[in-house]
Chains A and B, each alone.
Chain A
Amino acid sequence: MSESEKIMTINPRREQFKRGKSVFSSNRILIGVSILLGSFMTFPLYSQAPYIVKVATVAPEGSSWMKEFRAFEKDLSQSTNGQIQFKIYPNAVQGGEKDVLRKMHLGQIDVGTFTGVGLGEIITEVRILDLPFLFRTSEEVDYVYTALFEEFQKKFIEKGFFLVGWAEVGFVYTFTKTPIATPDDFRKVKMWLWKGDPLAKATFDVMKIQSVPLDITDVHTSLQTGLVDGVYISPYGVLALQWFTKTKYMLNYPLTNSVGAILITTKKLNSIPENLRGVFVEKTKENMRKIIVQSRKDNLASIQALHKSGIHLTTVTDKKTIAEFDEIGRLTREKLVGSLYSQELLNQVLALLNEYRSKHDR
């Protein structure tokens, strides 16, 4: 893998560990061969592409994610000589993640992009990758995600979905109206809780935070009215939703890393001839990596944009506070054993993390 293809990484929590303090694609391919003026020129002639893959995503047209996905669409079409083509429904016109999931079950949509909330509707275990205060850096995320990929893929196949690739949302931060730097500070704010998300609820219960369960549609208004005065979201997300205009502070220490993935129904995948199927899977994986790279860049650029627009970045600077956040992470992951995932899977994740850290942390 070339240097440029390597996943760009974000190390939001690396600095503090170094310094001991916290900061953060014819029905057949018809190749027309023309002999023109003694030279060979080949023209690929395609009839209507037989394999139309319907993709639903919440990303708006023109967004960074959609631009990358449009490039992927072109790459896939070229790589399969036009035999696999996407029909993309952006901007959540097919509804939210649960709607898309339902449409995938009905065969109306073939491919969906999901966050942990949607993925958790299929197999709850995947939420283990959303646990709070678990990952310190993007390298750790990549290490664990890669190690667990095949295992999760088998679980998704059992449910009728093929996990083609991860597509993380990225590190999630807390945005509040008053500055927060410690777990105690969290208790002074009324935090938004994504209604129906068991993982976020468990986390806030452990943190003893007064949370207000709300649909995402009500968050902006609730920030305006004061029903909530704290939210958690990726930096790019807080910009796209403009929630930052109602908050003043960002805790530059991630609450969690939010998992994301792209799934295709096994029914659709199996309808694609084997030779094309392989190309589809490989190209998707390859392009998802590019999307992750871009996503990480966008989140970094968003933090800069937020800072420039006047949002105060609060940093965590002492080992004691970091230990407190780590303890919240430990209590939360233990609390969710049995309900979201097994002790065995948790042990596996922690072992992978330890393995990575023992090799890389200095």
Chain B
Amino acid sequence: MRVRLLKTYILLAFAGFGLMMHSACSLNRIVMNAAGGFMESGIQSVYSEGDLELAEHFLASNLKMIEILASKDTSNTRLNLLAAQAFGAYAMAFVEDENPERASALYKRGLAYSFRSLPQKKRFDEQITIDRLENILPTFTQNDVPALFWLGYNWGQFILQHLDDPMTIVHLSKVEMIMRRVMELDESYNFAGVDLFYGCFYAARPPFLGGNPEKGRQYFERNSELNGNSFLMSQLFLAKYYTVQIQDQKLFDSLLNEIEQADIDARPDIRLMNALAKEKATRLRLMEADLFDVGE
């Protein structure tokens, strides 16, 4: 009898512990989802921030928190997508120009989260073959656009930091395939970022290396059009890649002047991106003598 009671007690104790753990897991999940949701709104609200220093501090101080949340629930595609977006955006906005090596490491982390943000059943990694990628991409739908976009973005940016590494550049065509699918599904996603991708893809290379500067220009112009002709990143990228490739210094100056004179409060919803474009335009202007002028 005592033995039976002891057994029952042990069973109940395990059941209670299990229930407690289950509740704790559920609670954790609820807390993480709530925190994730908070972070998501934070990332969205930071787009309207015109104070670059404030935006940088916000992102920097929250990257680790986002990472902790994502690592606690590796199957949570939403949290992983948030981490992918946060690392990629922070690296491009505040690190890349001054510290490319650090940016590279951040893109790499963003890339790892990007792969985990893919829907479980369609998940793949960087070793996927081109044939397999060709087959699986059509199964991605409009709901998958954010995951695909940030995957292509982080992967592409990482490759750009490693053009000296054959093991890395071998994946470039996969990035293009992913971005092509984004273009098919939702060109407008993230300020039509896919148009900026294709603009750089074609304008940053000379024709004999697979580039097509005019085609690149058309993508930059399309990006500008889709953003109500007030997204300064379009002009910035056009100046940085297209005008340099075709050596049109006059257009370069004109575009940078437009950016410098633009009012970032004209579009409060994209104040951050436009403030960034202004800062990057100032940096680009300092490089002008190195980028142009072949006269004696």
- Among the 9-residue stretches B23-31, B70-78, B162-170, the one with 4 or more Cβ atoms under 8 Å from chain A is B162-170
Least CB distance from A50 to B in Å reads 14
Chain A residues within an 8 Å CB radius of B127: 308
CA–CA, A58 to B211, complex, Å? 12
Find residues 204-229 in chain A having any chain B CB closer than 8 Å to their own CB: 215-217, 220
In the bound complex, residues from chain B placing their C-beta under 8 Å from that of A308 are 127, 167, 170
What's the interface size class on A, roughly?
35 or more
Provide the residues of chain B in CB contact with A109, threshold 8 Å. Answer: 294
- Check if A27 is an interface residue, CB within 8 A of chain B: no
B53 located at the interface, meaning its Cβ lies under 8 Å from any Cβ of chain A in the complex: no
Contacts of B210 in A (CB 8 A): 220, 241-242
Hey, which chain B residues are within 8 Å of A301, CB to CB? Answer: 165-167
Q: Are A217 and B207 in contact (CB under 8 A)?
A: yes
User: B127 CB to closest chain A CB, in angstroms?
Assistant: 8
Residues of A close to B169: CB separation below 8 A? 239-240, 305
Instruction: Say yes or no for A107: interface residue by CB 8 A criterion.
Output: yes
Question: A305, B167: Cβ atoms under 8 Å?
Answer: yes
Would B294 and A309 count as touching, CB distance under 8 A?
no
B206 at the interface (CB under 8 A from A): yes
Q: Looking at chain B, what size class is its interface with the partner chain?
A: 20 to 34
**Which B residues are CB-close (under 8 A) to A298?**
164, 166
Cα distance A64–B168 in the bound complex, in angstroms: 12
Q: Mark A99-124, 1 if CB is under 8 A from B, else 0.
A: 00001000111000000000000000
CB of B33 closer than 8 Å to a CB of A: no
A196 beta carbon closer than 8 Å to chain B = no
Binds B, one of A86-94, A132-140, A345-353: A86-94
B212 to chain A: closest residue by CB: A217
Are the C-beta atoms of A93 and B173 separated by less than 8 Å? no
| In contact, B294 and A91 (Cβ under 8 angstroms) | no
Known contacts being A239-B166, A245-B130, A298-B166, is A108 close to B296, with CB within 8 Å?
yes
Check B65 for interface membership: any CB of A closer than 8 A: no
Q: How far is the CA of A257 from the CA of B163 in the complex (A)?
A: 23
Cross-interface CB contact of A91 among B129, B130, B205, cutoff 8 Å:
B205
Contacts of B170 in A (CB 8 A): 239, 244, 302, 305-306, 308-309
- For A304, list chain B residues within 8 Å (CB): 166-167
A44 at the interface (CB under 8 A from B): no
- Give the contacting residue for A60; candidates B129, B209, B294; CB below 8 A: B209
The contact of A236 among B161, B166, B172, B296, by CB within 8 Å, is: B166
Contacts A62-B163, A301-B166; A241 near B294 (Cβ below 8 A): no
CB atoms of A241 and B209 under 8 A apart: yes
Give the distance in Å from the alpha carbon of A302 to the alpha carbon of B172 in the complex: 14
Chain A residues with CB below 8 A from B63, complex form: none
Give every chain A residue within 8 A of B160 (Cβ-Cβ): 62
A residues lining the B interface (CB < 8 Å): 54, 58, 60, 62-64, 67, 87, 89, 91-96, 103, 107-109, 215-217, 220, 235-236, 239-242, 244-245, 298, 301-302, 304-306, 308-310
Q: A239-B169, A309-B129 are in contact. List 18 more A-B contacts (CB 8 A).
A: A58-B208, A62-B160, A62-B164, A89-B294, A91-B245, A93-B244, A96-B206, A239-B166, A240-B169, A245-B130, A245-B173, A302-B166, A305-B166, A305-B169, A308-B127, A309-B170, A310-B130, A310-B131
CB pairs A–B below 8 angstroms (13 shown)? A64-B164, A91-B245, A108-B296, A217-B208, A220-B210, A236-B166, A239-B170, A241-B210, A242-B173, A242-B210, A302-B166, A302-B170, A305-B169
The 9 A-B pairs of least Cβ separation, nearest first, read A92-B206, A64-B164, A62-B163, A302-B166, A305-B166, A305-B170, A301-B166, A245-B173, A216-B208
